[in-house]
Structure 1
Amino acid sequence: MSSDEPTVRFGDVTGSTFAVGSHARAESHHHAAGRERVEDQELLEALRELRSELAGRPQSPAVTGINEAIDEAEEEITRTGRAGEGRRARLRERLESAEGITSWITAAAAVAAMLGVGGAS
């Protein structure tokens, strides 16, 4: 490469299409959201409903922990489009540690079922 040729560098690139060079051709292939994304959006809706139901309940360490896990999961799904397994595991742990809550809140039961808490899946 001669010193008068331009240098091209790419950092972290996602969701982009580009071509480099005089004969380069850029192609984009966008795939529809898969089942995983649909499930994550359903989970997000259920988490928001759960947060709404928790808002009217007395605060306790269990309720606070669930609210924190909901906030983290909502942020991750909103930012990336999905909840990673680590995030799902944290939600499962919080719901399992607050079993009494899931019995009296419908939305908690729905989220617990989505996450496989208590053997449900």
Structure 2
Amino acid sequence: MNRDSGDDLTFGRKVVGGLIGAINNTHSVGAYQHATSQSAATDEATEQLLSAVRELRADLQRVRATEQTAALAEALAEAEEEITTTGQAGPARRERLRELLSDSQALVSILASAGGLAGLLGM
């Protein structure tokens, strides 16, 4: 499968870039809706985030463990628990995941699930 579209961007950068744009919009909509009322759009965004968190957790089990991947795995487990318990991931939790993903740029480039989560977090 040829993933080169001639625009000098790798497949991973396209996935991350596309998801970042989508998540920036989702996050701002979700923040507004949360401030006004609970809605179906907020639930959908949260479900997407939960799915991305779970997918990356599963993929992390397939890579060699490092301090970075261990910290990321722990933060992902906490995020999953928070989402399943409260129905959302708070701003502090999202920021922590952004920081860990930012510190793991090589991982984001390799694992599509990491790129997907980065996009959902507005990176």
Say whether 1:93 aligns with 2:99.
yes
Q: Which residue of 1 aligns with 2:122?
A: 116
Match of 1:50 in 2: 56
User: Per-residue displacement from partner, 1:87-121 (whole Å, max 9, x unpaired)?
Assistant: 1001001100111100000000000011012xxxx
Deviation at 1:79, TM superposition (A): 0.3
Note the 1:40-79 alignment, pairs <5 A.
40-79=46-85
Instruction: Give the corresponding residue for 2:16.
Output: none
What is the TM-score with the length of structure 2 in the denominator? 0.67
What's the offset of the Cα at 1:33? Answer: 4.0
Q: Percent identity?
A: 38
> Could you say what the CA RMSD is over the residues aligned between the two structures, in angstroms?
1.4
Task: Name the counterpart of 2:89.
Answer: 83
Equivalents in 1 of 2:45, 2:64: separation in Å?
30
- Which sections of structure 1, spanning at least 5 residues, go unmatched? 1-30
Structure 2: gaps spanning 5 or more residues: 1-36
Which residue identity lines up with residue 46 of structure 1 in the other structure?
Answer: A
Does residue 108 of structure 2 align to residue 102 of structure 1? yes
More helix by share: 2
Amino acid at match of 1:82: Q
How far is 1:41 from its partner? 1.1
Deviation at 1:65, TM superposition (A): 1.1
TM-score by length of 1: 0.68
Cα distance in 2 for partners of 1:36, 1:96 equals 25
Name 1:38's counterpart in structure 2.
44
Match of 1:20 in 2: none
> How many aligned positions are there?
87
Return the letter of the residue paired with 1:68: E
The aligned amino acid for 2:53 is L
